[in-house]
Amino acid sequence: MEGYYDENRGLLLRCLRVEASTEPDVVGVCHCGECQRRTGSVFSVSALFKRENVHAEGPSKIYVRDGQEGRKVRMHFCPTCGTTVFWESDLRPDHIGVAVGAFHDPNFPPPTVSVWEESKHGWVAFTHDLAHLPTQRPT
C-alpha cells in the first residue's frame, strides 16, 4: 500500500485521494464492533472534517452498512488495495470521516473522545485526557 501525508493534509492511497483544507473538528476513537471488524483492530481512530473542507479524487468503491436507528454509513475504500479511506454518515451529514492512520502523521492531533466504550477491550487505556462515552457520541 502506497500513501503519504503532505502539508495540505492530503491522503493518497494509489488512486483514491482525500484532502482536507482545515484541521479536523473532532478526532475520535470508536470501539464498536463494526469499526473493530472494518479495521481488523480493537478500535478505529477517525478525524471528522466539515464536508465543505474535504475534497475526494479518484475512483472508490462504496460499502453501505446499517448504523443505529436505521441510519446508513457509506464507506469509501480504495478499489486497488481495499483500504477504507473515508466515510459519510447519516448521523452527521455535514461531516466526512477520514481514517487517521492513513495520514501516516505521528503529529496528528490526538483523540478527544472515545465512543462505544461498552465494547472496549479491557486492556485498552489512554494516557491523555479525553471524553469517555459508553455508546455513540451525542448528535
pLDDT at 138: 57
The answer to the question of residue 5 being in a domain is: no
Q: What angle do CA 23, 27, 29 make, to 5 degrees?
A: 165
The better pLDDT of the pair 79, 61 is held by: 61
90: Cβ–Cβ under 8 A, 6 or more apart, which residues?
67, 71, 72, 73
The answer to the question of residue 18 being in a domain is: yes
Q: For 85-113, write each residue's pLDDT tens digit.
A: 899 999 889 999 999 877 778 888 999 99
- Which stretch, 16-20, 25-29, 117-121, has highest mean pLDDT? 25-29
The answer to the question of residue 4 being in a domain is: no
The CATH number of residue 68's host domain is 3.90.1590.10
Q: For 28-55, write each residue's pLDDT tens digit.
A: 999 988 888 888 899 999 999 999 998 8
